[in-house]
A and B are shown apart, each in its own frame.
Chain A
């Protein structure tokens, strides 16, 4: 209860500072819309925002899922031979620093303007940090635990599923967190650059339209929704998973 109270207090404080800055600076709604006009825009556009949010979540969910599967395959490959681990380390060094949005031109060339291109950019943005975290996680498993597994006659996929996966779970969770954030960034960025095809778009497309029509309160409303989803997923999904796994086992510090 006290924590909820302090959070509400924090939000109100930010809103007050926001309004104060607007009043003191004398900014117009076009440059810095007031809190109330942002909320009004949010309310007026609620149906459109709702559909676009669903679209965004769906495409990010698919992209992240594909990226996780690819990352698992890459990590297994990296563990099945010295050559593969070197190749994957090199590929990671080359492609991880490349912003996902930088391959958008190529994606459009290959897949055309539309959902497929955005999906490609999302997967590309999320897969490298995922591989990085998974691979690091697998390499930081205590040797004793792996050897107990081998002692029990486990090997290959069984060893991976029953011992390596839970033993590296703090890293895996960290990777999925980063992947989720990257996927969001990529989806919004891609839609901001070329919009959406056939009027079917996500929150990035919403921001694009609102900016195009100079409806700044709408731009902020869209950003607010993105932030709120981020907070909700962090507190509902990730924190819940953490409490029931790595925090329960004390494999990470609270």
Chain B
């Protein structure tokens, strides 16, 4: 498996509304292999979502380069598909099947007579086979996120960018979503970059974990645990403590106010 995504010295700056410069992401470099499942973890406002948005092409970066398969990323494209935390990312005026068909038509990747069949296959993949004709409002939060994943996969992305996709769900449906996501990943072999602030979620899911602190990488660690991961084992707890320790030592002197300067919450202006 070769290298798929490469970030070189990526910097993204923001301005607060008073004109002060705040760092979103600073001098970040790492690579992601094809088929890899990596998690980026860190507290709210540490820039991990910003980093994901830079990879997606939603944000113009101030410095550095991001390459996908050797090509420089300049703008959003269906080869990197984003799944958001919000439960409003499906188009409410289309049924699930139509949502997926819309995406496929927009990227013109699929022949028109195959679209409906492909949409159905994608719904089956995420466990929503009987719900193709439902409108988004008729679904639970978990089902909406499943449908969003089905839609994302339908355009055949090289990387799935997931920004706390299960953050709005309760613990029970989150567990089911983890199960489904791993199944989908095994089947499609799609590369996944998963942003979360939940350390256990990251351990359960990913091959590799990047610990992120305000603007930069604290640690880049391979997950040593065998799949499926069982939270009750000593190895699991040890790994959890190791990751947790990274944040505790690194976050001691950091002003909590700074953490709140999240791009989303403080309405920072991109510079």
Inter-chain contact B135/A142, CB cutoff 8 Å: no
Interface string of B20-57 (1 = CB under 8 A from A): 00000000000000000000000000000000000010
A166 to B76, CA, bound (A): 22
- Closest Cβ of chain B to A54, distance in Å, is 35
Chain A contacts for B221, CB-based, 8 A: none
- Closest Cβ of chain B to A242, distance in Å, is 13
Chain A contacts for B56, CB-based, 8 A: 151
Inter-chain contact B82/A151, CB cutoff 8 Å: yes
A149 to B58, CA, bound (A): 11
A248 at interface by CB-CB < 8 Å: yes
Using a Cβ–Cβ cut-off of 8 Å, how many residues does chain B contribute to the interface with A? 23
Interface string of A164-204 (1 = CB under 8 A from B): 00110100000000000000000000000000000000000
Interface string of B79-120 (1 = CB under 8 A from A): 011101010110111000000001100110000000000000
Beyond A151-B56, A153-B77, whether A248 also contacts B91 by CB under 8 A is: no
Using a Cβ–Cβ cut-off of 8 Å, how many residues does chain A contribute to the interface with B? 21
A11 to B44, CA, bound (A): 60
- Closest Cβ of chain A to B61, distance in Å, is 16
A147 to B89, CA, bound (A): 9
**Of A153, A248, A251, which is within 8 A of B106 by CB?**
A153
Inter-chain contact A147/B106, CB cutoff 8 Å: no
Chain B contacts for A248, CB-based, 8 A: 135
Inter-chain contact B58/A152, CB cutoff 8 Å: no
In the complex, besides A152-B103, A152-B155, 4 extra interface pairs with C-beta distance below 8 angstroms are A142-B88, A145-B88, A150-B58, A153-B78
A250 at interface by CB-CB < 8 Å: yes
- Closest Cβ of chain B to A196, distance in Å, is 43
Inter-chain contact A249/B82, CB cutoff 8 Å: no
**Of A142, A147, A162, A166, which is within 8 A of B82 by CB?**
A147
Inter-chain contact A162/B102, CB cutoff 8 Å: yes
B137 at interface by CB-CB < 8 Å: yes
In order of increasing CB-CB distance, the 4 nearest A-B pairs are A250-B137, A152-B106, A144-B89, A166-B93
Chain A contacts for B76, CB-based, 8 A: 147, 150-151, 153
Question: Looking across the interface, which residue of chain B has its beta carbon closest to that of A149?
Answer: B106
* Interface set of B (CB-CB < 8 Å, partner A): 56, 58, 76-78, 80-82, 84, 86, 88-89, 91-93, 102-103, 106-107, 135, 137, 151, 155
A163 at interface by CB-CB < 8 Å: yes
- Closest Cβ of chain A to B150, distance in Å, is 13
A91 at interface by CB-CB < 8 Å: no
A245 at interface by CB-CB < 8 Å: yes
A168 to B78, CA, bound (A): 24
A148 at interface by CB-CB < 8 Å: yes
Chain A contacts for B78, CB-based, 8 A: 151-153
Question: Looking across the interface, which residue of chain B has its beta carbon closest to that of A154?
Answer: B106
A9 to B116, CA, bound (A): 50
Inter-chain contact A152/B135, CB cutoff 8 Å: no
**Of B89, B103, B106, B137, which is within 8 A of A145 by CB?**
B89
Chain B contacts for A148, CB-based, 8 A: 82, 89, 91, 103, 151
- Closest Cβ of chain B to A204, distance in Å, is 38
Question: Looking across the interface, which residue of chain A has its beta carbon closest to that of B85?
Answer: A144
Inter-chain contact A245/B93, CB cutoff 8 Å: yes
- Closest Cβ of chain B to A149, distance in Å, is 8
A147 to B152, CA, bound (A): 13
A169 to B91, CA, bound (A): 12
